[in-house]
Amino acid sequence: MEKQTELIVFNPPWLPELHNLDSIDEAIYYNEKLFPDFFAGAKQRLLHEGKLVLIFSNLAQIANVTKEHTIEKELAKGGRFQLEKCFKKPVKAASEKTKRDQHWRSSEEVEFWVLTNK
């Protein structure tokens, strides 16, 4: 895509990869290049008054997979985007039928980030 746009929406994977990924795993896990490449490309393609919207989660932090939050890291580095809004909503409890350990779900939040060009 070469043309600039006023809106980019991204619903990336919420967990960093822990091993080499099969193509099906890429829907769930992100590699270390995904976010730096995405933010660099979004900066080039977003119009000056445009908005970047991301749907994310704190799942990786509460599951102790990483301490780093990729969107917060991008904003802290500065230079490309600034925060317009961030909405966070708790995740509903898991089904009582699940056999997986879901103790962390009470702390999970889905995040809706709106960023603008700097």
pLDDT in tens, 43-97: 999 999 999 999 998 888 887 888 888 999 999 987 899 999 999 998 876 666 6
Name every residue whose Cβ is closer than 8 Å to that of residue 114 and which is 6 or more positions away in sequence: 51, 52, 53, 83, 84, 85, 86
> Is 0.85 topped by the overall pTM?
no
Nearest-CA neighbor of 72 among 116, 81, 26?
81
Query: The domain containing residue 94 runs over which residues?
Result: 5-117
Q: How far apart are CA 116 and CA 118, in angstroms?
A: 6
CATH number, domain containing residue 68: 3.40.50.150
- Identify the pLDDT of residue 44: 92
Which tokens is 96 given?
């009582």
Number of domains in the chain: 1
